[in-house]
Structure 1
């Protein structure tokens, strides 16, 4: 139960409140840190969370310690992380205007696909992750990372632009992969 992959997954869940705290707009500890430094720390933590997401699955498969707890917690940790980042970036207005729709598409798809996976597992139908879904995940992780990094490096104006472009790419891929998963699930909803 407390294998290294499971510990990495749990660490991701426990890091989410810290990430939210660093992105919180009123966080200014006794005036010692400029806001940009908060974003840079948040970016570092976000990257570390992404790295642990990769390594928990890799280590579990490589060492043959894939557990039911890990299979249960890993997608939950992913969804919690993405939902918290979306909520915080919208709250801080790092994502604003029409770009909120792209973030909302990603958030809604995460919730719908999670429910669909839960339903299908109840009737013992697996829903494998497609290659396009992996590209979608990569695009969204890099997009949110770039948007967080932009808060720490406001003088580099290309970073938020690149982040928002990738956010829309991720949203489009989200719609495509979400539709693919929904079609698969509807076939089993007799």
Structure 2
């Protein structure tokens, strides 16, 4: 096994996946949201760099080929678990998250069953786009947690009438409630739209892998 620089980036991304969840055990919010967001975005950026550097420097290895998809799946699965766990359990969030989690488990099991034959199931461009949209959606949803908690800190001690007066322009918006409400709402909307798009791409690529694997699943007559 060769642990070159691109592989080291992949290992760091793999370690960053559980670290995203650990942030919420040792830090209060919104600091946990900030650390999780920065850690997730940094890890997601390495997903592009490690592959690019491995190809450019001709340092592609079996270790990297094995760890790269595992790191991607670990990042997505753990981050979604954290987001759903700290959400209001809205079906608009749970349904696409369930589709994504089911597909990742299904394809991983399919590849494990096929063994050496799994090498014939090449990663498609659509699958790469799927991963990109997944990570973008998760990053945006993490940012919603940041905005949401700064908003909560700003309205602490205010009654509903005071908040409404500030948002309607009747009172001066000293604490910036207007932009915090807008940022919270829009990050939630954009994040959900991207997550549903990611779920659709996830389902399509999952079906594509299954269709390609069907010839290897038939019993010999």
TM-score where L is the length of structure 2:
0.77
Q: 1:111 to 1:124 in 2, by over 3 A?
A: closer
3-state DSSP class of the match of 2:121?
A: coil
Contact 1:133–1:173 (Cα < 8 Å) also in 2: yes
1:22 aligns with 2:23: yes
CA RMSD of superposed structures (Å): 1.8
For residues 94 and 137 of structure 1, what CA distance do their matches in structure 2 show?
25
Match of 1:184 in 2: 212
Q: CA deviation at 1:11?
A: 0.5
For residues 88 and 23 of structure 2, what CA distance do their matches in structure 1 show?
14
Match of 2:135 in 1: 141
Match of 2:172 in 1: none
Match of 1:2 in 2: 3
3-state DSSP class of the match of 1:187?
A: helix
Match of 1:78 in 2: 72
The unaligned stretches of length 5 or more in structure 2 are 149-179
Q: CA deviation at 1:93?
A: 1.2
Higher Cα Rg, which structure: 2
**Cα displacement string for residues 42-93 of structure 1 (whole angstroms, at most 9, x for unaligned residues):** 1111110001111111111111111111111111111111111111111111
The unaligned stretches of length 5 or more in structure 1 are 29-34
Match of 2:94 in 1: 100
**Cα displacement string for residues 14-55 of structure 1 (whole angstroms, at most 9, x for unaligned residues):** 12232112245x843xxxxxx123212211111100011111
Superposition map of 1:160-179 within 5 A:
160-179=188-207
Stretch moving more, 73-82 or 131-140: 131-140
For residues 202 and 141 of structure 2, what CA distance do their matches in structure 1 show?
18
Q: 1:146 to 1:9 in 2, by over 3 A?
A: same
3-state DSSP class of the match of 1:123?
A: helix
For residues 41 and 177 of structure 1, what CA distance do their matches in structure 2 show?
31
